[in-house]
Amino acid sequence: MTTDKAVTAPEALLVAEDLRKAYGPTPALDGAHFAIRAGEVVAVMGPSGSGKSTLLHCLAGIVPPDSGSIRYQGRELATISDKERSRLRRTEFGFVFQFGQLVPELTCLENVALPLRLAGTDRKTAEAEARKWMARLEVDGIGKQRPGEVSGGQGQRIAVARSLVTTPRVIFADEPTGALDSLNGERVMELFTEAARATGAAVVLVTHEARVAAYSDREVVVRDGRSRLEYAA
């Protein structure tokens, strides 16, 4: 068993080294390493409280680590401005959360188009692109409905379509099937990974479920804030 340095920095799209993060006296990360190539799906696994979600939040630039290095396309995230990090999260990073976090006041179509609208794309163009992704995720028939009017599986497919609509380089998925039954979860993962691989996006997939991790190329196990490469593709 080796650290995730098995993916070397020149090959990797996103690299983290020796990350440390504490919340008060409690360490969440204690020297974690991580790396992912373009087009790769990596499952981050570990028990509850192991630090896997904190690792994802640090990698995505949402939470700054107390120390350590995170480089995206060779650029150190700590050295870029808050405005630039926000731009990365809008255009080059995509996000899928356990409960979707869709905007309840918007229709499903408007939710998928939202990242493009926030980036300045006109409504007609944004919604045309959103429809393409909704069709790919097999939810093109619910565009006029609001999130509260669709099933959990449909809502999560809308969340996946939203994460892909900007054609991001990296997608961060935190327990994306955790709120779904096994059948819906399997279908969401099939569609999600198929679509992500087709675009060449890297996927950082946080999960505690072996059946979800099975869709990845390799696993990184986080225990007590430290990461270990479990196996490589």
Nearest to 137 by CA among 190, 198, 202: 190
For residue 10, the model assigns a pLDDT of: 54
pLDDT digits (tens, 9 = 90+) for 29-54: 999 999 999 999 999 998 888 899 99
Beta strands 14-23 and 170-174 are: unpaired
What pLDDT score was predicted for residue 232? 39
Tell me which residue range forms the domain holding 90. Answer: 4-72+81-231
Mean pLDDT of 160-186: 93
Q: How confident is the model at residue 233 (pLDDT cuts 50, 70, 90)?
A: very low
Judged against a pLDDT cut of 60, whether residue 82 lies above it is answered with: yes
Kindly give the residue spans of alpha helices, DSSP state H, lying in 46-181: 52-59, 82-91, 108-118, 123-136, 152-164
CA atoms within 13 A on the CB side of 156: 25
Q: Cα dist. 181→150, 152, 184, 200, 210 in Å?
A: 15, 9, 6, 28, 14
Chain-centroid distance of CA 208 in Å reads 15
- Contacts of range 184-191, beta carbons closer than 8 Å, 24 or more positions apart: 184/151, 184/152, 184/153, 184/156, 185/209, 185/211, 185/212, 186/211, 187/153, 188/153, 188/156, 188/157, 188/160, 189/215, 190/215, 191/136, 191/137, 191/138, 191/157, 191/160
The pLDDT-based confidence of 229 (bands split at 50, 70, 90) is: low
Give the E-state strand segments of the chain in sequence order.
Answer: 14-23, 26-36, 41-45, 67-72, 75-76, 93-96, 170-174, 202-206, 218-223, 226-231
Polymer length in residues for the chain:
233
102, 158 Cβ separation under 8 angstroms: yes
Residues 109, 131: contact at Cβ < 8 Å? Answer: yes
Total domains, the chain? 1
Position 209: which residue type?
E
Q: Residue 158 is part of a domain; what is its CATH number? A: 3.40.50.300
| Residue the block writes with tokens 């196996």 | 231
Q: Is the pLDDT of residue 171 over 60?
A: yes
pLDDT digits (tens, 9 = 90+) for 123-167: 999 999 999 999 999 999 999 999 999 999 999 999 999 999 999
Mean pLDDT, the chain, integer? 90
Token duo for residue 91? 């255009």
Reported confidence tier of residue 98, pLDDT bands at 50, 70, 90: confident
Q: Which two tokens stand for residue 183?
A: 């059948």
Q: Give the mean model confidence (pLDDT) for residues 76-105.
A: 89
What's the pLDDT score for residue 4?
53
**To the nearest whole percent, how much of the chain has pLDDT over 90?**
76
Tokens in use for 166?
Answer: 């900007």
